[in-house]
Structure 1
């Protein structure tokens, strides 16, 4: 094997990680810092130092990642690495259970159910137990299975999961728990395992059979774990069980990119690694090969406010580049147009597929999708449904189409499918009777299906009224909501947010026909969903964007209740994950980063209401970005930075980071305060170190940083 010139291809930190082959090593790999290159070169280094490939265990989160690393390492080493055990945690666990399963009582071998099989068992158990019989609001088998899986991976009680993540399903908690017990009993009786069982049964094998654990510890002298920040509790325990007394284990990851708690991942695995493995050598990869230094200055500030973290400061040799922009549109509707204008501007020098718009939740891109469609700009969306493809949006728009055009047969078919007792043939007959005035048939059908008469009366009233687009939508929203809750019992709260966006978009129209025309201008080609397509802007949730990068990134809806989400505002751990999500989003950008912070957002029954900027934006020093504001007459103008104070007027507090001296003065209080937008509010609680939960009359409960509140003297 040729000698590999490590010094030539690696920076100093990467080289240190590659050359440290003994004992526990934790590599904190900042965004864009060459993590994969480091893993690949270390694999080659191990083999170069006479470690047999079959003694190396590489655990990753996708088979593709493991194969890529092994292929590159083999090419580098000039020899095959086929003996390396590389793959996912689940695949490795399955292999060990197949080999030693009889020690756990699986004498006939290990049978793994796929997702379809598991859903079939859930259905069978539900029917056998008579759970939710005749109750159309009971969650579907797939949703029940997902909830059980989430409880298993988070190692929390199922009812706790329902309370914190699916409160609308709490009335069904007892029934779901009955199914959970029956599901586990069914698997045990028939010797079946599902995907989640693989890790837990493998852990049982290692704990209860010391001889097997010792064999594997001796077999795999060197462990390497990729994306360690994404491991869950049982995966963390498996790493400890497999590491052995010498603990030649290298974990690679970034605590700042741990954003999958909803899947069961815990950032504590990487934060506690040095405690779990005494004597750990911590190596930080801080040189970024993706972004310009101005972008990294901003992302370092986001990370600097985290409460629990490994300190790091990303830097780049790409010193030059524009500062990130913080753009403040007047509303979330003008935000959509402002983003489109920026895309058009960027497209003069950047291919459309190298421009990405990122958002916290899928529904947040809906106004932007309509705006892109109107200009004929192609896009592809990752994470969340495209606006016009969402089933509940199609349901709702079908009713709007009937208000505008009674001869729209597809709209009749979609709208009437919501009603019990009306199939495709009856629908066509109703359509013909309506157009030809067959009152006798309509009377008979309405008598048989009372819900039909209510629907037709509503549509007639709306069609004959002279109401504007927004009032029509308001009435239809009230009509459709119970249908939506019955039709989509698993996730109707999330779908409701999409309908709120629809109402917001419609508020800008005076004619229903114009609104429907823009809605129908959706791209005819939804895309394959595999890879990035040429000449199409990328729209993506931040979770779906992890691991990717673009020349230009625009991040929208950076306001409280949207980013961070409403639920996270009251939970410190969730707020920390939202901060990490913000960091992930911003570090996707190579050359340009735009942060959009609308002054108002549309809320049903309230119209456009003032909102607070995301605390993650509020914390940013003004030196890290350019600020642009939309004027009342339209257009965005750059705001000039305030002149620095004369030295005599400056204080230590002026130079302190935002969360340091200035915010350390925040103290618990039970009185009242004032805010420049929300007015006077009652302080409900103090959230250390520097936030208050305040109830503002007319605006509800808000959580905000102390610097933005003026305390009233008692």
Structure 2
């Protein structure tokens, strides 16, 4: 009886013999032949998606001398298992039942857009659409998983073959198959932001740019420049002119670093997040046959949060949908607040121009907020001129009128918010149903101090992301070098863990080990110690045992066991001697171990980690041990969330709106930000601002209420005058 992998190898050899003249298809055939997971690095869901594409690609080519055999999927249910009219309101129903063709859905805050997308996918499947012909693009992989899970629950039909996930996730899947077309190997590493910054720093150093002689942007700044250029499809000069004009005098040096960065990534067989979009876009733009293939493959494309897409993402959608043109985009132009990341507000505004036959639907029934809160939000956003007109209507009955509270100074503002939070808790609103929102992170400093003084537990949505913490990156570096021995950044990170090994020595060590086919063998055999005498014998023994065990576990694709082994072989002691809070860091790694059990291959696990680390996240800082905590958040990070009671602080002119945004002509985006803040509130909304501010350089400053408050009619709120007893 043949082992499945052995059968795959025989099949690979046979196909290679039959198709040896067709070099383009060979990498894809390799993917097909490794679906048992022994060689393929994708998650089970990714593997199913890859099977769908590979099978269609293979079917589209003639296999001379081979008889064709067709597998029939389970037929879609002929009769709906539920009543759409009972499950959806009239606005939602019209979208779900809409005929084919381009569709723009203007989904107001709290209008149930997730429900609409979910039911639309279910309806398409019931109409007979093939699961593998549906592409669902979301801004988090979690959102895609939840939507598809709901679809499966609705129609009791297998949705595993639907392509669902973020743009970067789908780009990763496609590039794993087509990597050789852009001169990468299929096992390329995905660099997170910190790794990308380190490579740029390395390129800068190798370019011998003397930072002592003159100021030069650091790696993180250069990464932001390169990223903005990719996502907006603008050249380096355009990007610098628009966003970084103070670097125009060194544009030649920056261009040199950009080129060196690209070369270094290619040499290491690595891509950063932007490359996942850049090379996907390039394939579609430059290869007509590939563009035709993918556009024909997907009969329906659905895009969530379309108002947050950037130019390269919008063009990818247009490329993928140019044949069937069944593109449904869902979003709210009134919640477009991420231009600083490269999001293009014009994508949603101009969708009807790019698709003249598009139907435009509006979801204006709001299930979240009271009529009073919506009246305030509607009136505020009506002052914007560039928008799709909409008027949110509440399902809820009348409630509490929003409150505008002028306070003496920032201290009294903090005292008022803290006291009112305690009162709301006594009235039955849990602390985790209360949020304090602000335009800039530093706005919450005094409030943090006041909440701490009163013993009110809170969490701050800011700080390092979980997967970008040093101890997580250390563990991941061990795993990365096991699957990609040419990963320079990971090796140098590991080498610096040795006592008395600094950056310079680590560079020398890497220059030595990269000349070997498998550097891991140097550590298992301990031969690395013969070249570098500074490595202590005990450390050599520890790393030899570690890599020996990791190599064994890698055969079984067991990332959880591999991480446990890293802890066992010296890393726990390393944490003890390196960090004062090593116990907390060990808890983080334990959580990482739990997370890794969801993946049945090491490559899949590492790909997911890299993708997740590039999506906005936060590290929680608490003011207490209770399970319930008040949320402190910037408005940008609060988008998509809701709380029963919301405080918006620092609603003062000169603070909100942001003065620099006003100077840059972004008043309407600042007003959209105010709209987003107001529509996070379900039942109670408090708009607070200090009237007096002390600044060291100029003394006391009298503050006026934000123009967004001044624009409101007095009937939209009641004003509280706060006194002291």
**So what's the TM-score if we normalise by structure 2?**
0.64
Q: Partner of 1:555 in structure 2?
A: 648
- Closer, same or farther: CA 528–71 of 1 in aligned 2, 3 Å: farther
Q: How far did 1:606 drift? A: 2.0
Cα distance in 2, alignment partners of residues 566 and 155 from structure 1: 28
Q: Aligned pair count?
A: 491
Conserved in 2, the CA contact under 8 Å of 1:60 and 1:66? yes
Query: How far 1:169 sits from its partner (Å)?
Result: 7.1
Aligned equivalent of 1:248, options 315, 320, 326: 326
1:441-456 matched pairs, under 5 angstroms? none
What does residue 683 of structure 2 align with? 591
Q: Does 1:8 align with 2:91?
A: no
SS in 2 for 1:609: strand
Deviations 1:465-515 (A, max 9, x none): xxxxxxxxxxxxxxxxxxxxxxxxxxxxxxxxxxxxxxxxxxxxxxxxxxx
Contact 1:555–1:594, Cα closer than 8 Å, also in 2? yes
For residues 609-688 of structure 1, the aligned pairs below 5 Å read 609-630=701-722, 634=724
Q: Secondary structure at the match of 1:347?
A: helix
SS at match of 1:368: helix
Q: Which residue of 1 aligns with 2:659?
A: 566
- 1:158 and 1:177 in contact (8 A); partners too: yes
Task: Note if 1:363 corresponds to 2:442.
Answer: yes
Do the aligned partners of residues 379 and 88 (structure 1) sit closer, same or farther apart at CA in structure 2, a change above 3 Å counting?
Answer: same
Q: Structure 1 residue 224: deviation in Å?
A: 0.5
Conserved? CA contact 2:104–2:351, under 8 Å:
yes
CA distance in 1, matches of 2:450, 2:310: 40
Helix, strand or coil for the counterpart of 1:196? helix
Q: Report the Cα distance in structure 2 between the residues aligned to 1:385 and 1:119, rounded to whole angstroms.
A: 15
Q: CA deviation at 1:219?
A: 1.1
Aligned 1:53-452 pairs, distance under 5 A? 53-106=131-184, 110-134=188-212, 138-156=216-234, 158=236, 175-188=253-266, 192-349=270-427, 350-383=429-462
Question: Could you tell me whether the CA contact under 8 Å between 2:296 and 2:324 is conserved in 1?
Answer: no
Q: 1:598 offset after TM fit, Å?
A: 2.1
Separation of aligned partners in 2, 1:279 and 1:87? 27
Cα offset, 1:172, TM superposition: 6.8
**SS of 1:535 mapped into structure 2:** coil
**Structure 2 CA distance for partners of 1:333 and 1:157, relative to 1, 3 Å:** farther
Rounded to whole Å, the distance in 2 between the matches of 1:628 and 1:162 is 47
Shift of 1:164: 6.3
Supply the distance in 1 between the matched residues of 2:710 and 2:463 (Cα, whole angstroms).
28
What does residue 451 of structure 1 align with? none
Q: 1:536 to 1:171 in 2, by over 3 A?
A: farther
Could you tell me how far 1:142 is from its partner in structure 2? 3.1
Q: CA deviation at 1:170?
A: 7.5
Taking the aligned partners of 2:316 and 2:293, their CA distance within structure 1 comes to 15
Aligned to 1:505: none
Q: Is 1:581 matched with 2:673? A: yes
The 8 Å contact of residues 331 and 600 in structure 1, kept in 2 or not, is answered as yes
Contact 1:384 1:541 in 2 (8 A): no
Change beyond 3 A, Cα 1:143–1:606: same
- The aligned residue for residue 469 of structure 1 is none
Matched residues in 1 for 2:102 and 2:464: separation? 43
Distance (Å, rounded) in 1 between the aligned partners of 2:408 and 2:250: 42
Distance 1:384 1:580 in 2: 25
Deviation at 1:384, TM superposition (A): 5.4
Q: Greater relative contact order: 1 or 2 (C-alpha under 8 angstroms, separation 6 or more)?
A: 2
Offset, 1:147: 3.3
The structural deviation recorded for 1:613 is 1.9
State the shift of 1:151 in Å: 3.2
Q: Distance in 2 between matches of 1:41 and 1:383?
A: 34
Deviation at 1:85, TM superposition (A): 0.8
Question: Which segment is superposed worse, 268-277 or 150-159?
Answer: 150-159
Supply the distance in 2 between the matched residues of 1:151 and 1:533 (Cα, whole angstroms): 44
Residues 259-316 of structure 1, C-alpha deviations (whole Å, 9 max, x = no match): 1111111111011111111111111111111110100000001111112111110011
Contact 1:353 1:533 in 2 (8 A): no
The 8 Å contact of residues 405 and 686 in structure 2, kept in 1 or not, is answered as: yes
Distance 2:148 2:385 in 1: 36
Which stretch has the larger CA shift, 559-568 or 160-169? Answer: 160-169
Q: Deviations over 1:346-371 (max 9, x none)?
A: 12121111111100111000011111
Shift in CA distance, 107/367, structure 1 to aligned 2, threshold 3 Å: closer
Matched residue, 1:682: none
Q: In the alignment, what sits opposite 1:412? A: none
- Secondary structure of 1:620's partner? coil
Q: How far apart, in 2, do the equivalents of 1:204 and 1:170 lie?
A: 27
Determine if contact 1:102/1:109 at 8 Å carries over to the other structure.
Answer: no
Return the offset for 1:110. 4.9
CA 1:296–1:181: 2 relative to 1, 3 Å: same
Q: Is the 8 A contact 2:647 2:687 kept in 1?
A: yes
1:541 to 623, 634, 657: 634
Deviates most, 116-125 or 79-88:
116-125
TM-score w.r.t. length of structure 1: 0.65
What residue ranges of structure 1 are gaps of 5+ in the alignment?
A: 387-525, 636-714
- CA gap 1:157/1:101 in 2 versus in 1, 3 angstroms: closer
> C-alpha distance in 1, partners of 2:667/2:644?
28
Distance change >3 Å, CA 168–CA 355, structure 1 → 2: farther
Which secondary structure state, in structure 2, belongs to the residue aligned with residue 372 of structure 1? Answer: helix
Pick aligned residue for 1:604 from 682, 696, 714? 696
Greater alpha carbon shift after TM alignment, 233-242 vs 121-130: 121-130
Give the secondary structure class of the aligned counterpart of 2:700.
strand
Q: Following the alignment from structure 1 to structure 2, what is the Cα–Cα distance between the partners of residues 606 and 275?
A: 50
The answer as to whether partners of 2:305 and 2:330 remain within 8 angstroms in 1 is yes
SS in 2 for 1:279: coil
Cα pair 2:647 2:685 within 8 Å, conserved: yes
